[in-house]
Amino acid sequence: MRFVEESGSFYDVGSKVGEECRADVLDLYHKTVEYLAKNTSLSREQSMVDVAVRHLRTADELWIPSVDFLRGLARGAAVSLEKVALTSFAEEISCEKCSTLVMRTQDRRYLLVHNEDYTEFYRGKMVLLDVTFDGFPRLVCLTYPGMLPSLAGSLTAKRNKFFRIATLNNSFWFDAQPGLPKQVLHFRASLASDIYEAKDWLTKTPVSLPTHYTVACGRTGQVFSVTVLNQNTSDVGAVILPIGSQSFCHTNHLPNKSWKLKKDDPAGGSSHSSVIRYNRLQDLKAHELPQTHEEAFKLFSEPPLFRNEAGSATLATVVICPETGDFWLRDADPSAEKKDWHFNL
């Protein structure tokens, strides 16, 4: 795992991240193309690039700083913007496979736990960022080389009008649809001043990739489950539910849905482990729920409780306590020189 600490404009921070990840970005671009060719309906590299460039244009209209970051990333990594776009928007073509658990500890604070699971070739290549963009508070987050920040878990610091905001994401197994790039909405929401602004960004429609977020505010103690769908997959665009004192969990399928799907949830056939992981989380008794980040690491980062399907690997485990501003991370790479990280914002 690479660690980057930087501040400045979106372009300058992106350039620094690109420089630090230069050895990985081009190699992972080729691996991403190969992965998408095997796992999606797009078999030609140019077709993938065309989709990514369309999302890049939409991103420029939606929130210019996201494209500034990607331009800097491309410059720093010494690759074309089109290659960075394909890598960054790969999830708009594919999806990832993660698990999230939210519970209250005995001192009545929320603990958010998340396994970031994706393809094996990202193991050891993840990027941990401690960055401050001009005009925004400090942001600590986990992401992928060649992609936008915050995609694998994030927490912002409290500053002036900004509250601490935490975000986590589990994508569904639906094919990406025409719509707004989820990655841009997620990145922008992670820098929101409060939880209401974060929810507004996460639920802009139509979103290209049906997905689920857990979003929390450290100042107010609010935590929300945010399910974002698409008119081609569901009769609703977004379902926002507060998470109360009971524990809450989510994987990559649509449990206990109260809305009508236009397409069957493909997780049951494409990713049976999503349902298994969800049931195992649901079955946890109150005394089995972790009370500390150490207990959360033990529960989430040690198989076989959350073992994924073939072709997917746990890349890292993130634990966040928004109220105290604590962000813990465990690198799942067995060869990592430093496995455990801690930040207090």
pLDDT digits (tens, 9 = 90+) for 51-70: 888 999 999 999 999 999 99
Per-residue pLDDT averaged across 59-87, rounded?
96
* Strand bridging mode 2-8 / 127-133: parallel
Spacing of C-alpha 47 from chain mean position: 25
At residue 175, the pLDDT reads: 76
When mean pLDDT is compared across 265-274, 278-287, 293-302, 313-322, the lowest value belongs to 265-274
Task: Evaluate whether 253 touches 267 at the Cβ level (below 8 Å).
Answer: yes
Q: Quote the mean pLDDT of the chain.
A: 89
pTM of the model: 0.94
Q: CB atoms < 10 A from the CB of 8, how many?
A: 15
Domains and CATH numbers, the chain: 2-7+96-344 (3.60.60.10)
List the one residue out of 194, 261, 193, 274 whose CA is nearest residue 227.
261
246 vs 322, higher pLDDT: 322
pLDDT for position 191: 98
Distance CA 247, CA 202 (A): 22
Q: How far apart are the first and last CA of the chain?
A: 21
* Ramachandran category for residue 315: left, alpha or beta (phi over 0 → left; psi -120 to 50 → alpha): alpha
CA 249/CA 282 separation, integer angstroms: 7
- Interacting residues of 192 by C-beta distance below 8 A, sequence separation 6+: 165, 198, 200, 201
Highest mean pLDDT among 66-70, 120-124, 169-173: 66-70
Predicted confidence (pLDDT) per residue in 207-236, tens digit: 988 899 999 999 999 999 999 988 888 888
